[in-house]
């Protein structure tokens, strides 16, 4: 998730929202966050 914070301005608006982070964690629980 650190990558998303470092590159936030390069990502689409949707990917910058906290709800997007929550969906990623819910769908990929085995990947380190």
Mean pLDDT of 3-28: 87
Please report which confidence band the pLDDT of residue 7 belongs to, taking 50, 70 and 90 as the band edges: confident
CA distances from 32 to 9, 22, 25, 28, 29 (A): 23, 13, 9, 9, 8
User: What are the structure tokens assigned to 32, written together?
Assistant: 């380190």
Task: Give the model's pLDDT for residue 27.
Answer: 93
Task: Give the model's pLDDT for residue 22.
Answer: 92
Q: Are 10 and 17 in contact (CB under 8 A)?
A: no
Average pLDDT of the chain? Answer: 85
Q: Which of 9, 32, 33 is nearest to 21 (CA)?
A: 33
Share of the chain above pLDDT 90, in %: 21
């Amino acid at each position: 998730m650190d990558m998303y914070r470092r590159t936030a301005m390069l990502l689409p608006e949707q990917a910058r929202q906290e709800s997007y982070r929550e969906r990623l964690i819910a769908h990929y629980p085995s990947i380190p966050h």
